Structure 1
């Protein structure tokens, strides 16, 4: 086994105290000859940790196939010093792979004593919202403007490792170590991506609202509501997202939403339609206790589709029936609405419930 140690400089562009004490954090990444822990081998484990007032990078490299067991033992013994492991998709690949290799050698190691923080899992729910092309580490680095030297993928380096086992050429070893080291150097570099879950998962405060007048393609006027929110957290790179009825833009600690208002008549559907009659000539439903006084020819038993009353006003769209009362254009429409009143809305929106609803919807698109 070959051990490489260096003390690189890592700019701390994310508040590490949100993760834990600096000295408690162990960033790690592995390199393997395949995806299956049963039928391939581990050949490299790299770690970044803070000790002695500086960042350290250590790599354990299996220079022979038989050195794999030594790499595993060395890593897991080293792991005992740290309560928190930080990684990129380690929950999905690295950790299960290491456990399978331990079982192959009947080694008694696991991750039960540590907290696992997977950067991939933290950011995955927001991929669509942020417009990430993929969830690979390199894609996130590009989103944040992080540059790397390495031009090879882990899959491409499998053949390089096989060639190294045959030739032991230094240039091949350098290629293998560089790829792993760049992933490790890049991991603290991509930590600012965690600002997005921090930002999106905490409360927003409504600081301003403005009713805008716009024109559609045919020159007809309509109104849109501009909502400005403030967060205690900030995003390093602005992002925006649009749908047919709402636009969102995040910059720094501010989030701006522009939502088209529906102005006119909508239907409120009563849930217990069996207790209502539909008035044919008035196009509305009334409770059976009142309907008994209406001419039988002017009423029929209501169905779920006809059990409604009409209401006129200004409404905000919603994509699940969260805000009451729920109104619709037609029964079972996917987009529903709730009444908008500037004063009442400002009072209700202290903690950003509506904009969070919009964010959840745009995350799922």
Structure 2
């Protein structure tokens, strides 16, 4: 086994305390000879971790096929000093692969002593929103404008490693180590992408409400978030009812306005009469006094009262009463009033429901 240690200048542009104790946090990545731990081996494990204004780096490289056990043993001993293990898609691949190889070699994995943080899993729900063609690490690095030196992926380097075992060619060794090194150096630089899930999970402050310039059918909410949660690049999305654009720590949410008449549907329609000439429903306790020729039993479709006004759509029934165009309409509306956004809890639930709808 060959051990390589390096130190790089640099700090991490993301608050590590959101992931765990910054002094007990380490990133890791593995390289294998294939995708199945039943038939393939781990030939390289690398770790990188912050220390002051530098990044410390270590690799364990199996320079012979028999050295796999030494690589795993060294890695397990190393991570016992840490509490948070950060990786990219490690929950699905790296950790299960290493665990299975350890058991095959009669070693005890040390993952139980660390909390797993998977960058891939945290950002995957935002793939469409960020316009990512796939979820590869290099793709996200390009999105964040992070450069790297190696030109190969892990699969392409399998044959390089197998050839290295025969030749011990130093150029091949360099390629193998460089790919893993760039993956690891890129991982801390990848962390600002986590500002996106942080941004959409936070509570916002409403700064202003206004009509869209030149339009009367859209209302714009100007919102501000945590000034530490800064988006690396602007992001936007839209559907007919909702649209937003977020940049840095701020966002504008555009909502389509409905002006006119909507209906509030009473529950328990069997307790109501429909008044034919008034086009409204009333409770039977009152409807008993109405001429029988002017009333009929209400149905789900006719058990309503009408309201004229200005309304906004809502993906969930947050504000009540909720109005609809028909009882079959999946979209509900609430009436726009001066104080309708004064309830901060309701406002932020509304914002999160729109985010979910747009995603």
Distance 1:299 1:158 in 2: 80
Structure 1 unaligned segments of length 5 or more: list them: 216-221
Per the TM alignment, residue 52 of structure 1 is displaced from its structure 2 partner at its CA by: 7.5
Q: Shift in Å at residue 240 of structure 1?
A: 1.1
SS in 1 for 2:183: helix
The one of 310, 314, 335 aligned to 1:314 = 310
Q: 1:214 to 1:325 in 2, by over 3 A?
A: farther
Pick from 336, 343, 348: which aligns with 2:343? Answer: 348
Query: 1:228 aligned to 2:228?
Result: no
Do 2:11 and 2:54's aligned partners in 1 also have CA atoms closer than 8 Å?
A: no
Q: How many pairs does the alignment contain?
A: 356
The 5-angstrom pairing of residues 19-30 of structure 1 reads 19-30=19-30
Contact 1:208 1:228 in 2 (8 A): yes
Aligned to 1:270: 266
- With structure 1 as the length reference, what TM-score do the two structures score? 0.92
Q: Distance in 1 between matches of 2:124 and 2:90?
A: 13
Task: Give the 3 Å change call, closer, same or farther, for CA 92–187 of structure 1 in structure 2.
Answer: same
Distance 1:198 1:328, change over 3 A: same
Structure 1 residue 51: deviation in Å? 4.4
Alpha-carbon distance between aligned partners in 1 of 2:167 and 2:298, rounded to the nearest angstrom = 83
Evaluate the alpha carbon distance shift between residue 23 and residue 200 of structure 1 in structure 2; reply closer, same or farther with a 3 A threshold: same
CA contact (8 A) 2:21 2:84 kept: no
Contact 2:80 2:110 in 1 (8 A): no
2:2 aligned with 1:2, yes or no? yes
* Deviation of 1:45 (Å): 0.5
How far residue 353 of structure 1 moved from its aligned partner, in angstroms, is 3.2
Q: Is residue 10–residue 185 contact of structure 1 (8 Å, CA) maintained in 2?
A: no
TM-score, normalised via structure 2 length? 0.93
Superimposed CA distance per residue, residues 9-52 of structure 1 (whole angstroms, 9 cap, x where no aligned partner): 23422222333343211100011122222222111101002347
CA contact (8 A) 2:10 2:53 kept: no
| Alpha-carbon offset, residue 321 of structure 1 | 2.2
Deviation larger for 314-323 or 248-257: 314-323
Q: Deviations over 1:194-229 (max 9, x none)?
A: 2222222111000111123646xxxxxx42111101
Distance in 2 (CA, whole Å) between partners of 1:47 and 1:202 is: 31
In structure 2, what is the Cα distance between the partners aligned to 1:183 and 1:124?
18
Q: CA deviation at 1:104?
A: 0.9
Which residue is 2:255 aligned to?
259
| Aligned pairs for 1:91-240 within 5 A | 91-212=91-212, 214=214, 222-232=216-226, 233-240=229-236
* 1:72-87 correspondence to structure 2 within 5 Å: 72-87=72-87
Measured against aligned partners, the alpha-carbon deviations of 1:51-88 in whole angstroms (never above 9, x if no partner) come to 47632111111122211111111100111011111111
The 8 Å contact of residues 206 and 352 in structure 1, kept in 2 or not, is answered as no
